[in-house]
Structure 1
Amino acid sequence: MHATRTALPATKRRVPMWDNARWVAIALVVVGHGILPLISVSDAAYSVYLFIYSFHVAVFVTVSGYFAKSGPLTGRTMRGLLTDIVFPYVIFETIWTVVKWLVTGHFSYDLATPSWTLWFLIALAVWRVALPFLVLLRYPLLISIALSIAAGYSEAVDSTLSLTRIFGMLPFFVFGWSIRQQQLTGRWLALPTRVAWRWRAGAIALFAAVLAVMPLGIDLWRDLKLRRFLLYDEGFDDLGFDEPWSGLVRLVLLLVAMVLALGFLTLMPRVTTPFTRFGSATMYVYLLHPFFLYPFRESGILEGPQPRWVLPAMVLGCLLLAVVLSTTTVRRLFRPLVEPKWPWAFRPTPETPTGTIVLPVDPPPAPPRRD
């Protein structure tokens, strides 16, 4: 007699390449924010900043889109949106309101105007809700690009609830979803190492070219306000470009960023690395690092000309900060803020598909007994 085996539930296997990409992308976010005070007077810092921003936001949003679900919105999906995005947004917006009140003496609690990096949470929530509707259409990526460009011309799309960035970066989110639909990950992981390195050599050459172009055209980039274009948080009129061709600039930047995002992903190790385990801590790094960089931003300590060693020191310091914020200890301490579950906020009563509360029905009275 053979022993009966109980089937175990399948567990999701994490792919090291994506965890590597997640952490490197968030580390670059920290570096970009860290060197921001230096770019006004340092061409070297501005070149590094533009190089990072030419692709790292696209990578971060693309990775988010890759793992987004495009199926119908369910109660479980909506609950996940609340616990993963809405609740953390309310918590950290409240914290930032208190911090700015203590620093400036001015109190303003406005959930419609996200503080510093919190725009991403609002955008992520909207993108996740919109994706199931977008993918019903025949060409969702082309439609998202058209919406992004059209939003740049519209005066109605402003910074309220980060609408400018929601529309502006929507193509990157849909692009990530498209990568998954094409099953490119499986094909890439199946390539022999020798072939993979051919693609990586091309990606290295591409990034080297971009890095070389940045300092060569530094005056032109300042005149064109390239940095502000790369942030996607202003309309073309606000940027001072009200010409009909302004949308072509955004189109070129979107396409270049998508190509660079693919190049970035090809450079990510396909095997486990020392920072692979940090890939699941990106939201901790994203939400916590501004508190450590805020003093540099507000104190003015980095304003004006700085010694040459300051830029590499800030880069290394930001990378170290990203490592520290990815550790298990930090995650354990701040989990109630970054990953609030709040079971008390949800109704325990089961519902029908239409949302009607299911009330218990009393059993019918028993018929009278006949002796």
Structure 2
Amino acid sequence: MVLMSPPVTGARHPQKRRVPLWDNARWLTIVLVVIGHAILKLIAESDVAYEAYLFIYSFHVPLFVAVSGYFARSGPPGTRQLHRLLTDLVFPYVVFETLWTLVHWLLGGEFRMDYSSASWTLWFLIALLVWRIMLPYLVLLRYPLLISIAISIGSGYVIAIDSTFTLSRTLGLLPFFVFGWHLRQWRLTSRWLTLDNGAVWRWRVGALTLFTALSGVIVLNIDALRGLRIRRFLLYNEAYPLFGYDQIWAGGIRLGLMLLAFALIMAFLMLVPRRRTWFTTLGTATMYVYLFHSVLLFPLRETGVLDGPQPAWVLPGMVVLSVLIAIVLSLPFVRKTFRPLVEPRARWLFRKHESTHTGTIVLPPMDPPPAEPS
């Protein structure tokens, strides 16, 4: 089985062997993440932008989560794994949440240091931390995927489950993390990489057909999809009643979108190049793209330059800009410059030696019972 680093990571932990398929998938996925955020301001006034947005959001976040789950360890965490939870997730979250708080304050907002409410894209770091902690316990159960689906659907009915510590998204997207872990247990990578080209292209034709059909459905029904508020379902960050779905069958919509996303994840991975490409190496730096692309898009989001109707060229222009941002943020000089923020080693914080394992507690001998009165 091929061991690789998680998809949201830099290159601090070199591996003996990397599979180009997964580095390609990681970079293409992060590009979709950037595009989705870049075109958000356009969807209110443009049906074309909204169609592109729904197409991307129907699978790109589930895909990002599934790729993370593929590389997650399901065994009992050792000291090294616990260290990496802190250095790869907790520390970057604290650093960037602090920076975002300062940015909002410098731009005239209220200074409110609240680490329970993740700023913009930082929700994923909290969710990934929880998923990694949960996975070893989930896989002890007989049907972890079905259980995670039930948790996801059920959480959508509970209004009290909100964005505090990104709990709603953590539970809502949990099935995709478990699905990614299952893909590795099924050893699909080795099977896919050993298929001959003829069989590969037959599967790819099927994948392209699925994506084409999805695009057609979205384009032909864009007004109905706006009215149904499908976008709110695709974000997995609210209870159904909060956007008008207080019926018992609301969970069925989430289930249907979830099953569609499972199929689209598989279709997307079939279309990813199996061999090295010009962007394979860039796939090792997706953490940097993830954390910094929102900084570059922030001015466009907040200045109002994209508000209101826009010329037709703006949408493809934002797509091109997103690809360029992903390329630049994947370059070595960015990783070298910002590594202390993104991948802090924090050696000063950890023990030099592991703590001893807890053994059997030996209680001191009890005092003899008092003598019976004569």
Is the TM-score greater than 0.5?
A: yes
SS at match of 2:240: coil
Find the counterpart in structure 2 of residue 336 from structure 1. 340
Distance 1:240 1:354 in 2: 51
2:154 aligns with one of 132, 150, 154: 150
One-letter amino acid matched to 1:25: T
Distance 1:104 1:63 in 2: 38
One-letter amino acid matched to 2:293: H
Distance 1:299 1:225 in 2: 26
Distance 1:144 1:239 in 2: 23
One-letter amino acid matched to 2:316: P
Identity %: 60
SS at match of 1:12: coil
Find the counterpart in structure 1 of residue 363 from structure 2. none
1:204 aligns with one of 204, 208, 215: 208
Find the counterpart in structure 2 of residue 6 from structure 1. none
One-letter amino acid matched to 2:78: T
SS at match of 2:242: coil
2:29 aligns with one of 17, 25, 28: 25
1:95 maps onto 2:99 in alignment: yes
Matches within 5 A, 1:243-322: 243-322=247-326
1:124 aligns with one of 115, 118, 128: 128
SS at match of 1:221: helix
Distance 1:294 1:216 in 2: 32
Distance 1:69 1:187 in 2: 21
Change (3 A) 1:350 1:190: same
CA apart distance, 1:349: 3.7
Which sits farther off after the overlay, 203-212 or 10-19? 10-19
1:54 maps onto 2:84 in alignment: no
Say what the alpha-carbon RMSD is for the aligned residues.
Answer: 1.3
Which residues of structure 1 form unaligned runs of 5+? Answer: 1-9, 357-371
1:192 aligns with one of 196, 199, 207: 196
State the Cα deviation string for residues 341-362 of structure 1 (Å, max 9, x = none).
1101112243112299xxxxxx
Distance 2:17 2:161 in 1: 40
SS at match of 1:153: coil
Find the counterpart in structure 1 of residue 182 from structure 2. 178
CA apart distance, 1:101: 0.6
Distance 1:23 1:355 in 2: 45
CA apart distance, 1:216: 1.1
1:104 maps onto 2:108 in alignment: yes
Distance 1:177 1:39 in 2: 33
CA apart distance, 1:105: 3.2
- Under a length normalisation based on structure 2, what TM-score does the superposition of the two structures give? 0.91
CA apart distance, 1:75: 1.8
1:67 maps onto 2:71 in alignment: yes
Find the counterpart in structure 1 of residue 7 from structure 2. none
SS at match of 2:107: helix
Distance 2:57 2:29 in 1: 11
Find the counterpart in structure 1 of residue 370 from structure 2. none
One-letter amino acid matched to 2:357: P
CA apart distance, 1:74: 1.9
State the Cα deviation string for residues 226-258 of structure 1 (Å, max 9, x = none).
111100000011121000000000000111001
C-alpha contact 2:24 2:280 (8 A) present in aligned 1: yes
CA apart distance, 1:212: 1.6
Distance 1:95 1:62 in 2: 28
One-letter amino acid matched to 2:56: I
C-alpha contact 2:152 2:173 (8 A) present in aligned 1: yes
One-letter amino acid matched to 2:334: V
Distance 1:317 1:112 in 2: 32
Find the counterpart in structure 2 of residue 37 from structure 1. 41
Change (3 A) 1:153 1:145: same
Find the counterpart in structure 2 of residue 347 from structure 1. 351
Distance 1:333 1:201 in 2: 42
Distance 2:271 2:222 in 1: 26
2:85 aligns with one of 48, 71, 81: 81
**Poorly superposed stretches of 4+, deviation over 6 Å:** none
Distance 1:349 1:127 in 2: 27
